[in-house]
């Protein structure tokens, strides 16, 4: 039960951070002045926080609903926190343009958080009683997602050299199709 309390505490912190970020964004918007350097950084940090809170929420749902594979949920939350730290550091540095190594790591961790968040969402709905067609689409969607992750990271690492744009496009379409078809297929199978 101590684990449940720590998850609830983490969720309360996430809620407070989201509310705080929303207040800051509202104040920036109401300010009505063009964005200066500081307000632009606040806005970028708030957007990163909002995005990464969503990925963390997927990890938390997986932990709650599928305790047998909760390690993926914890990895999702960890990757999201790491991405937030790196992205915030990159945003708030004095010399954004001179931080190409940090920028690459920001992209890598954002992609990992996104991929783990989507993987957590896919796994949250897993049920042993699902028909084979649902299990196959879930597996294919996860494989397409991680193939896309590897492809995107390869492109970031060495732009224009290692990635076939057609392969990337086809993989993205298969992943997108899987995410759209899976809930529909589950409804048809019920």
Span 114-136, mean pLDDT?
Answer: 90
| Helices 100-124, 132-157: inter-axial angle, 10-degree rounding | 180
99-113 in b/e burial notation, b at 16+ Cβ within 10 A?
A: eeeebebbbbbbbbb
Q: What is the Cα–Cα distance from 51 to 48, expressed in whole angstroms?
A: 5
pLDDT number for residue 94: 56
Q: Would you say residue 16 has pLDDT above 90?
A: no
pLDDT number for residue 62: 93
- Please state the domain extents for the chain: 1-99, 127-190
pLDDT tier at 101, thresholds 50, 70, 90: confident
Q: What are phi and psi of 36, to 5 degrees?
A: -95, -175
Instruction: Give the closest residue to 59 by CA, choosing from 145, 121, 147, 2.
Output: 121
Q: Would you say residue 112 has pLDDT above 70?
A: yes
pLDDT number for residue 30: 75
More confident residue, 35 or 22: 22
Q: What number of CA atoms fall less than 13 Å from residue 154's CA on the CB side?
A: 14
Residues 6+ away with beta carbon under 8 Å from 186: 125, 130, 134
| 89-93, 99-103, 159-163: range with highest mean pLDDT | 89-93
pLDDT tier at 60, thresholds 50, 70, 90: very high
pLDDT number for residue 157: 76
Q: Would you say residue 156 has pLDDT above 80?
A: no
């Amino acid at each position: 039960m101590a684990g449940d309390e720590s998850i609830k505490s983490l969720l309360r912190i996430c809620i407070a951070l989201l509310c705080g970020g929303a207040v800051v964004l509202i104040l920036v918007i109401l300010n009505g002045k063009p964005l200066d350097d500081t307000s632009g950084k606040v806005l970028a940090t708030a957007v990163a926080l909002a995005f990464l809170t969503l990925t963390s929420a997927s990890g938390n749902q997986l932990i709650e609903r599928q305790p047998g594979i909760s390690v993926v949920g914890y990895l999702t939350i960890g990757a999201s926190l790491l991405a937030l730290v790196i992205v915030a550091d990159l945003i708030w540095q004095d010399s954004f343009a001179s931080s190409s190594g940090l920028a690459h790591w920001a992209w890598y961790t954002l992609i990992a958080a996104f991929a783990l968040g989507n993987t957590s969402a896919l796994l949250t709905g897993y049920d042993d009683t699902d028909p084979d067609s649902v299990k196959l689409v879930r597996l294919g969607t996860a494989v397409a997602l991680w193939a896309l992750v590897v492809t995107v990271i390869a492109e970031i690492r060495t732009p224009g050299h290692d990635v076939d744009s057609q392969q990337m496009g086809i993989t993205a379409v298969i992943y997108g199709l899987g995410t759209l078809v899976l809930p529909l297929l589950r409804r048809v199978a019920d």
